[in-house]
Amino acid sequence: MSNTLNEYISKIKRCFKTCIIDDELADKYCITGKKTEPYKIALDPSLITLPRAVMDE
């Protein structure tokens, strides 16, 4: 995997940490993972809603 992806992830994480005062809350929205493993976001899936157009596909 290229370093470009990791650079983008780092920038996104920095933005969340800057914009969201509570570090614990910010961590739930940050992309985590190692280069050899799938990346993930720790946000509880029950908190995610998708538009009906996406759900109907």
Beta carbons of 37 and 8 less than 8 angstroms apart: no
* Predicted local distance difference test score (pLDDT) of residue 57: 56
Tokens of 7: 């650079």
Looking at the predicted structure, is the pLDDT value of residue 54 above 80? no
Mean pLDDT within 14-28: 83
What is the pTM for the complete model shown? 0.60
Tokens of 28: 């739930």
Beta carbons of 1 and 35 less than 8 angstroms apart: yes
Mean pLDDT within 14-31: 84
Domain ranges of the chain: 3-55
The per-residue pLDDT for range 36-46, each reduced to its tens digit, is 889 999 888 88
CA neighbor of 7 nearest in space, from 36, 43, 41, 31: 31
**Single-letter amino acid code for the residue at 28:** K
**Regarding predicted confidence, which is higher, 56 or 40?**
40
